[in-house]
Structure 1
Amino acid sequence: MNIVNKLTLRQLKLNKRRTLVTILGVMISVAMVTAVATLFFSFQGLMQKQAIANDGLWHVRYHAVNRDQLAAIKKDEATKDVILNKKLGYAELPEGNNPYKPYLFVEAYNSLGFTSFPIELTQGRFPENSNEVIISSEIADNGGIHYHIGDMLTLQVGERSDQTGKGEILDENSSIQMVNGQRKEALIHTNSITYTIVGMIKRPIFEPAQSPGYTIISFVDAAGMGPEDSLDTNVILKKINGALFTHAADLAKQNNIKVVEFNEPLLRFYGITDNVQLYHTLVSLCVIITLIIMAGSVALIYNAFAISVSERSRYLGMLSSVGATKRQKRNSVYYEGAVIGLISIPLGLLCGLVGMVVTFWGVNSSIQGAFGINQDFRVVVTPMSIMIAITVSLFTIFVSTYIPARRASKISAMDAIRQTMDIKLSGKDVKTSKFVRHVLGIEAEFGLKNLKRNKRRYQAVVLSLVISIVLFLSVSFFTANLEKTFKLSQADINYDLQVSASAEKPDLDQDHIRSIVSLTHVTEYSLVKRINFDSLIPASYVPTLVSNWFDNIGQPSQSGKYAYQVEVSALDDEHLQSYAKQTGVDFQTLVNPKQLSAIVINTTSYQDSLSRKFIETSVLNAVKGDSIELGNDKFPKVRVAALTNEAPMGVTLSRESISLKLIVSQRVLDALYPKDSDELSLNLYLKSTDPLDTQYKIQKLNSQVYVYNIFQARRNNEQNMLLIDVFTYGFVALITIISIANIFNTISTSLILKTKEIAMLRSVGMTPKGINKMIHSESVFYGIKSLIYGLPLGVMGMYLIYRAFMGRFNYGFSLPWSSLIGVCAAVFLIVSASMAYGSTKVKNVNIIDALKQENV
């Protein structure tokens, strides 16, 4: 080790506080990058596992594949494994006591399918040949038939044929066909098969809630395929990349395979999509967020060095005075950075990973079991995440050491020792406004002059604050928009069950309704009476995006009017009163039959057929007090009582078409349309803790109703929304904590480094009260200056993120005022707390000792 490096190590030891502050700054930066990268990869891993738990492990599915086509798929260079699947059909369930689930639905998988698809064995074993079967426990729980392992089942397996006149073949997504309580369908093309029960499974998650058959699963083997046989082939690929879509399509074309399907929920969480707009959106967002995080990391590490530039300049000037060359001085600073990096980077990596482990441990207890989520949120450490953290840290340490070393090497030894590059004493540089002294006092003027005199330190603190503001605003805006775009792209389902009257009994009896809503598992209900109108709305009331949609679907304006589908939904008084309070409307206005009023749900979203963008727009250019025509002149106009974006339970916002939805009272609907009209529909919407059991009990109470069970679709949406919330709010919390630590560390350290200056002011008679006022004034100046720069830059970052989202979505840009107000309050609060903490360290220091102090 040469003499310069030895002196550098000695300086690091002598200036313990400065060294610890620099090490802490680098550690925080490395921990931030490590934590963000780890959070991203871990969240990606969790979503992949949950997608596999919901839909199985496969990437490409080829439908109805024959023996030769299967051989070609197996030989394909991209194929790793194949899962064979065949839907054999339906068979009567002997003596089943649920008339709405009278069948067994028989499927078959090969051995890999039992472990790759969400099939949970509770007893016994999986089938090993085509004469063995595993059955769902739901047969006993819901169907009332108890089978045991070893029992023999002889079934007539065939297809369901509709007998209501349509004659179409029904699949597992079609509920049982009933008329007057009697089944109106039959099994055709049946084959007799005898099975031995070898195991029990839980009800498969992929079984549709409305399916009329309980799932039982047998075994299928390619060796037993005849020349006319076909089955579905699910492929697990060797490599997952964007080329898989083209490759699969080419393979299907070459082998005359008609239908190819991709496991989009799983591939999406690998970052793979065949949608060009979505791909560009994802890439743009990743680039913007990465640049923002890297900028924060660079600033944080640079600040750790920049705070002590003055001390380092004096030391380098001393080396210059004894003959050190420019190269030696630069190498000294690089060596200092290397030593600090060698200590800080491993500690930062460790802190980032430990922080994520602790965070995930706490989160798991909250999400386990929520909405059917059964996967652990585990830390995923990849070489990529570690390399990102190390590379960014090494680069920023190099930049942070290069700038002061280059600056110090260009000045004379005397200037460096006297620190004339850092301390500005000219009248112009420290001049302050008279307003400061007359309004805020001489202590505030001292504080402002002190900031101007120590310009580089002042700039380092302000830069730290600005970066923290930009980081927080950008990340919080990103997470809020991520959640918004997910909601735009998903069906808006706010109930589990829909109970509707049948054609034979077109009304729901009030006693029957009361008995349904009083069932054990029902937690919430809404009774909605609904009717649709075809109404012509003047073009002046139609937003541009809506008129474009009408033009695209071939329904342009007629005589300056557009043909709207208007859906009028009437709530019962109890639920309407709650909804009116939620939307800020006087309930009495809605129940007045002399002045027909309605709440307008004035938002909709749809996917454009050409651009494939998800677009959000208002439905109507209207204001409170405007009137809407319903149908023709024989119907009275309805007054707009309020416009809202919130829909009550049972009113679904369509994602495929645009319609105008009005919420009214029963009295208003009666005034609009006769009570006994055949066009009126009455539906009961329910939320239930056990939707399957509730469906079964409703059908036992009255078989002459239709029950639509969509809890599975709703649960999948809520699962994904919960996981996104965990990611987004965890992301915001992480950035917030790091930003606070950055600000606190920078400001308190800056104040501690001014121990001499405060001691000098005390020595000439400034009171503790005056010093406090000066310090608090400095915190105000820090906050104002950082907000002047930070807020515009933050808004700019938010707009860039918004533009990136616009590659896939279309909705209005709006400033998150709550975040802006919150960040303003937080800046002053954190700055004041940091200054208060730092002042406690310096106010009680002995004046003589402080003035003599060299190393801090």
Structure 2
Amino acid sequence: MKHYLELVSFSAKRRRQSRMTKICIVLSVFLVSTIFGMADMQIKNERNQSIQMDGAWHAVFRNMTDETAEMIAARPEVVKSGRYEAINYTVDQGYTIGGRETVICGMDESMLDLYPSLEIIEGEFPKEKDQAVITRNAQEQMGIKVGDTLTMETQEGPLSFSVSGISGDTSSLISLDVYGLFLDIDTYREHFKDNTLSKDAELYVKFTKFCDIQETINDICSRLNIDPSSVGQNTRLLALMLQSDDPYMIQLYTAAGVLAVLVMVAGILMISSSLNSNVAQRIRFFGMLRCLGSTRRQVVKFVRREALLWCRTAIPLGVAGSILIVWLLCALLRWMTPTFFYGMPALGISVPGILAGAVLGLVTVLLAVRAPAKKASRVSPLTAVSGNSEALPAVRRAAHTRFFPVEGALGFHHAAGSKKNFFLMSGSFAFSMILFLAFSTVVDFMHHALIPLRPYTPDVSVVSADNTCSIAPSLLEEVKELPEVKLAFGRSFAYDLPVTINGKEAEVNLISYEENQFGWAEEMLAEGNISEAEEGKGVLLETGEGKTFAPGDKITMDTPRGTREVTVTGTLSYTPFSRTDGVETVICSEELFRELTGEEGYTILDVQLTKAASDEDVDKIREMAGEDISFSDQRLKNSEARGTYYSFAVFVYGFLAVIALISVFNIINSIAMSVSARMHQYGAMRAIGMSGRQLVRMVAFEAGAYVGWGMVFGCGAGLPLNWLLYRSLVTSRFGSPWQIPTGALLIICSVLFFSVILAVYAPAKRIRQMSIVDTINEQ
């Protein structure tokens, strides 16, 4: 040995202590790398989904002339741009193909890149005059092929176009049950320029990702005298690029930054606690180094070198573990729900995740080792002879045994013996709780921002063309008999009925429910009960802010059978129907609706399909409904909603699961290290008559003290942080007041409690199996 630092390699052979410290470093790096890695993968998935659903454009400039559009497109920050104009997007202007309302769009070919959902699946974009691309639903329902000629009825007379291509469907067109016709911008202007509003002449722009998009948009507006209010932005995509200046998006960025800092602080506390315990149990070793002539500076250097030696293996292991977990989770998500996670990389490498974990691990170790290194350098040479006596706190009074047995009192005494160690241990456990409570606010945000499909959401709807009760009940029975139909139900509507509510004149929309819909209304019930309304003995009335309706109110209305008074048996806080101001929503049973209105038919039939249902099955329902109805296919729209919600849900709950697992491993490893540091004392206690069972209880009480105070600190800091993040994420946007997160508290407290039980198991087994002599000599 030519240099004292070569002792590091011999010191590293103390496998138990080194292994525990390495495990702690690995867990910290794994935690940070996994969370940042999955966040990166999810952002990529969300970005791909956003591009597919909303487009790859960043900004849209409305009411643009061609000259202005050319100047914008010529800017170096602009990667791609495309002109877009449209007519009949309100589907009420009489532009029809085969009797079906048609939305007409004129655009540059570059719009196909800016809107991937407009992908041409057959044929090509129009190259010649009077060529057009038609949507797939028109091809399927009319049997149109590429090369065919179609005729469009317009206000000025029929127009003929040659079909050059077939494009994919969009959720908005499908849900409205209309066709889409896409033309070259020049052909569009030749036929429809005079009927197109100036605000509908738009320029979609995609900027380079290296520029400040908000600053560029402002510069364009100022140089070209463009009204900023006429500029729209792809908010979701820009938010994922961290390029949005929306105040709410900035709040989201701030919240994400706070959560990232919390993750890093949790890792720092875990590593600091581990290194502090490791040095504490080797005081005698550092005293021997001082006996051999090492200076304090050399001891500090020795401890730092040893910590870096652990990093050499621990950091790569933590990073490698996180990469494998990210791969596994991504593959699992793509396999389970490929429709929702098609944009997630299968074997993606998250550079931000790897860098975050590696840098955090290295920097944390270097920072965390400073205090233990100074502590080791202050060890006197006398300690090499006297053992660990100097590491023990001075005993000023006996352990308090009035409320606890002696082993319990000693356990609490050991926990509180070193204030610094107690703070680090309790702090690392507290931060697990703080992290969980902080991330739980993201769950609340998800439930508000991304509303999952309601149980009553239909896949297809058959709607009366004139909003009357013109759909025969027999159609509902026929639809129910189809094997592909999971559930079908109807509603009858009577609009703007004059009534008197508690002596005051008003208007109501009367709507009928059947048993399924009454069941779903239970969660919307504010006061009263549902059952009486379901039995036809009363009605339900939607209430809201500024309204004083209550069960027992009387509604009087004129019916075909004379004046009729009904009782309000319940009030609803919400109904899924739009209405105009001053018109109330009243729900009743089908039987009561027929008595009050004399109508036997339905206004709308909602149909939920099985997973095996195909386009042919939907076409069959369309044929059964006939021509004089409006048909709405919402399957694609529902699929997009499910995809957004489930992808975010898996992302959020995955984070919470990782935090919970890391909390378990951290507690188990920390308690094991604490026990290892006191094995010499446990041997002495065994020698004077303490049983192995008492020692196990003492360890349990010590662990309970750390976790108990960790829960107290965690609640003390976690609840205010939960409130602050909730206000930032939810209350400021959706208005919902904060409530104590009872569910999250119960979950994380249960995790910490069961972690203590698991943490005591391994040390207990070791204490029972080791002889007294071996325990005393354990160092």
Is the TM value for this pair above 0.5? yes
The separation in 2 between residues aligned to 1:300 and 1:653, in whole angstroms, is 52
Q: Is 1:28–1:348's contact at 8 Å kept on the other side of the alignment?
A: yes
**How far off its partner does 1:504 sit?**
8.8
The separation in 2 between residues aligned to 1:601 and 1:4, in whole angstroms, is 80
The aligned counterpart of 2:762 is: 837
SS in 2 for 1:243: helix
Q: Is 2:475–2:624's contact at 8 Å kept on the other side of the alignment?
A: no
SS in 1 for 2:225: helix
The aligned counterpart of 1:68 is: 67
Which structure 2 segments of 5+ residues have no match? 90-95
CA separation of 1:753 and 1:374: change in aligned 2, threshold 3 A:
same
The aligned counterpart of 2:425 is: 461
The separation in 2 between residues aligned to 1:87 and 1:152, in whole angstroms, is 23
SS in 1 for 2:404: helix
The separation in 2 between residues aligned to 1:392 and 1:462, in whole angstroms, is 21
Q: Is 1:468–1:743's contact at 8 Å kept on the other side of the alignment?
A: no
Residue 210 in structure 1 maps to residue 176 in structure 2: yes
Residue 754 in structure 1 maps to residue 678 in structure 2: yes
Greater shift in the superposed pair: 499-508 or 215-224: 215-224
Per-residue CA deviations over 1:517-565 (Å, capped at 9, x if unaligned) read 4445432233334556799999xxxxxxxxxxxxxxxxxxxxxx99998
CA separation of 1:534 and 1:307: change in aligned 2, threshold 3 A:
farther
Residue 822 in structure 1 maps to residue 743 in structure 2: no
**Aligned mate of 2:313, from 334, 343, 360:** 343
TM-score of the superposed pair, with normalisation by structure 2: 0.83
The separation in 2 between residues aligned to 1:464 and 1:187, in whole angstroms, is 73
Where in structure 2 are the equivalents of 1:766-785 lying within 5 Å?
766-785=690-709
The aligned counterpart of 1:263 is: 234
Per-residue CA deviations over 1:485-540 (Å, capped at 9, x if unaligned) read 314799998334443334496433211222234445432233334556799999xx
The aligned counterpart of 1:796 is: 720
Residue 249 in structure 1 maps to residue 191 in structure 2: no
Q: Percent identity?
A: 16
The aligned counterpart of 2:360 is: 392
Residue 522 in structure 1 maps to residue 443 in structure 2: no
Where in structure 2 are the equivalents of 1:22-101 lying within 5 Å?
22-63=21-62, 65-85=64-84, 101=100
The aligned counterpart of 1:558 is: none
The aligned counterpart of 2:604 is: 683
Residue 480 in structure 1 maps to residue 443 in structure 2: yes
The aligned counterpart of 2:518 is: 576
Q: Is 2:459–2:608's contact at 8 Å kept on the other side of the alignment?
A: yes
The aligned counterpart of 1:718 is: 642
AA at the equivalent of 2:644: N
Where in structure 2 are the equivalents of 1:109-148 lying within 5 Å?
109-110=108-109, 113=112, 117-123=116-122, 128-130=127-129, 135-143=134-142, 145-147=143-145
TM-align CA RMSD: 4.4
Q: How many residues align?
A: 756
**How far off its partner does 1:571 sit?**
1.4
The aligned counterpart of 1:847 is: 772
The separation in 2 between residues aligned to 1:25 and 1:621, in whole angstroms, is 59
**How far off its partner does 1:48 sit?**
0.9
AA at the equivalent of 2:437: L
SS in 1 for 2:395: coil
**How far off its partner does 1:365 sit?**
0.9
Residue 590 in structure 1 maps to residue 533 in structure 2: yes
CA separation of 1:424 and 1:766: change in aligned 2, threshold 3 A:
same
Q: Is 1:45–1:380's contact at 8 Å kept on the other side of the alignment?
A: no
Where in structure 2 are the equivalents of 1:149-228 lying within 5 Å?
149=146, 151=147, 153=149, 186-188=154-156, 193=161, 195=162, 197=164, 199-203=165-169, 207-215=173-181
Greater shift in the superposed pair: 291-300 or 383-392: 383-392
The aligned counterpart of 1:550 is: none
Q: Is 2:40–2:352's contact at 8 Å kept on the other side of the alignment?
A: no
The aligned counterpart of 1:362 is: 332
AA at the equivalent of 1:203: D
Q: Is 2:288–2:383's contact at 8 Å kept on the other side of the alignment?
A: no
**How far off its partner does 1:818 sit?**
1.9
Q: Is 1:570–1:665's contact at 8 Å kept on the other side of the alignment?
A: yes
- More helix as a share of residues: 2
CA separation of 1:446 and 1:88: change in aligned 2, threshold 3 A:
closer
SS in 2 for 1:835: helix
The separation in 2 between residues aligned to 1:394 and 1:794, in whole angstroms, is 27
The aligned counterpart of 2:92 is: none
SS in 2 for 1:495: coil
SS in 1 for 2:769: coil
AA at the equivalent of 2:473: Q
**Aligned mate of 1:298, from 268, 277, 280:** 268
Per-residue CA deviations over 1:401-423 (Å, capped at 9, x if unaligned) read 11122334446443686545542
SS in 2 for 1:436: coil
The separation in 2 between residues aligned to 1:330 and 1:233, in whole angstroms, is 64
**How far off its partner does 1:851 sit?**
1.9
CA separation of 1:395 and 1:658: change in aligned 2, threshold 3 A:
farther
Per-residue CA deviations over 1:282-323 (Å, capped at 9, x if unaligned) read 132123212211221111111221222313433333333344
**How far off its partner does 1:802 sit?**
1.4
AA at the equivalent of 2:156: I
The separation in 2 between residues aligned to 1:336 and 1:299, in whole angstroms, is 19
SS in 2 for 1:435: coil
Q: Is 1:302–1:400's contact at 8 Å kept on the other side of the alignment?
A: yes
SS in 2 for 1:83: strand
The aligned counterpart of 1:444 is: 408
The separation in 1 between residues aligned to 2:114 and 2:59, in whole angstroms, is 17
Where in structure 2 are the equivalents of 1:421-432 lying within 5 Å?
422-428=391-397, 431-432=399-400
The separation in 1 between residues aligned to 2:461 and 2:430, in whole angstroms, is 52
The separation in 2 between residues aligned to 1:581 and 1:207, in whole angstroms, is 32
Q: Is 1:521–1:694's contact at 8 Å kept on the other side of the alignment?
A: no
The aligned counterpart of 1:237 is: 207
SS in 2 for 1:71: helix
TM-score of the superposed pair, with normalisation by structure 1: 0.76
The separation in 1 between residues aligned to 2:435 and 2:506, in whole angstroms, is 44
Q: Is 1:699–1:705's contact at 8 Å kept on the other side of the alignment?
A: no
CA separation of 1:156 and 1:571: change in aligned 2, threshold 3 A:
closer
CA separation of 1:481 and 1:406: change in aligned 2, threshold 3 A:
same
Greater shift in the superposed pair: 485-494 or 804-813: 485-494
